[in-house]
Amino acid sequence: MKTLVVRDPAAEAAGLIARSVVAGGQIALTGGTTPRAAYERLASMGLDWSRCTLWFGDERAVPPDEENSNFRMARESLLDPLGADAPETKRIEGELGAEAAACRYEHELRGVFGEDLPELDLLLLGMGPDGHVASLFPGKPALDELDRLVVAVPEAGHEPFVPRVTLTLPVLNASRQVLFLVTGESKADPAARAFGPDPDPTLPASLVRPRSGRITVLLDEAAAAGL
């Protein structure tokens, strides 16, 4: 695991994601608020997006135009600014309800990756103050799912407290490359517990260790304070 403390995580993340974009491939975005600046930077880089497909690591079970929608955040910061250059994007249909959306997304993944575990070329992840990743929350059943690719999370463990849809841990760890983007002092404690020398296994972020071994954690000084 490569841990990088940088002055401008959004710019660094955009640079790393850009490499995957131009190489083409299957890229999964994360939601929340942290990545917005990185997506805005990406949209301004004049990249050729024609050979990549975008996926989402998780989604809130809300309509795509609702303020809590991860797709809405990505549309506003990246897809709309790209306009006609925007890549094929596989949206999680949260408006269907969490279980139906999970089933449809799993079907979508199987349609592209077949019956094997999907191997995303790049998986972007954030981390919550409780150490959650995607919508895999500490102590919640979804974290223990080892068979399905996508599951519903009826009760989120962190705001917004709406039902969620999330990729499962096996899919996260089948990714060829994982990039964490973690900023702010509220992440200092979970970052120390997840990315330090003695990872706390109760934190979902501690369990994201792709079998490829390619995992980069980008932090700002505040989030890295405990490392």
Q: How far is CA 15 from CA 7, 38, 125, 215, in A?
A: 14, 9, 15, 15
Q: How many CB atoms lie within 10 A of CB 200?
A: 14
Instruction: Say if residues 200 and 164 touch (Cβ distance below 8 Å).
Output: no
**Residue 24: strand, helix, or coil:** coil
CB 146, min distance to ligand 6PG, A = 20
Residue 190 interacting with ligand 6PG (CB under 6 A): no
Q: Which is nearer to ligand 6PG, 23 or 225 (CB)?
A: 225
CB 65, min distance to ligand 6PG, A = 16
Residue 33 interacting with ligand 6PG (CB under 6 A): yes
Identity of the amino acid at 136? L
CB 84, min distance to ligand 6PG, A = 27
Residue 163 interacting with ligand 6PG (CB under 6 A): no
Residue 155 interacting with ligand 6PG (CB under 6 A): no
**Residue 52: strand, helix, or coil:** strand
CB 58, min distance to ligand 6PG, A = 5
Residue 78 interacting with ligand 6PG (CB under 6 A): no
Tokens of 102: 């999970």
What is the torsion angle, in degrees rounded to the nearest 10, for the CA atoms of residue 107, residue 113, residue 115 and residue 117? Answer: -100
Residue closest to 168 by CA, chosen among 101, 102, 89: 102
Residue 177 interacting with ligand 6PG (CB under 6 A): no
Residue 61 interacting with ligand 6PG (CB under 6 A): no
Part in contact with ligand 6PG (CB under 6 A); list of ranges 9-17, 81-89, 120-128, 168-176? 120-128
Whether omega before 9 lies within 30 degrees of 0, making that bond cis, reads no
Residue 31 interacting with ligand 6PG (CB under 6 A): yes
CB 184, min distance to ligand 6PG, A = 7
- CA 45/CA 94 separation, integer angstroms: 30
> Under the rule (CB under 6 A), what is the footprint of ligand 6PG?
30-34, 57-58, 70, 126-128, 132-135
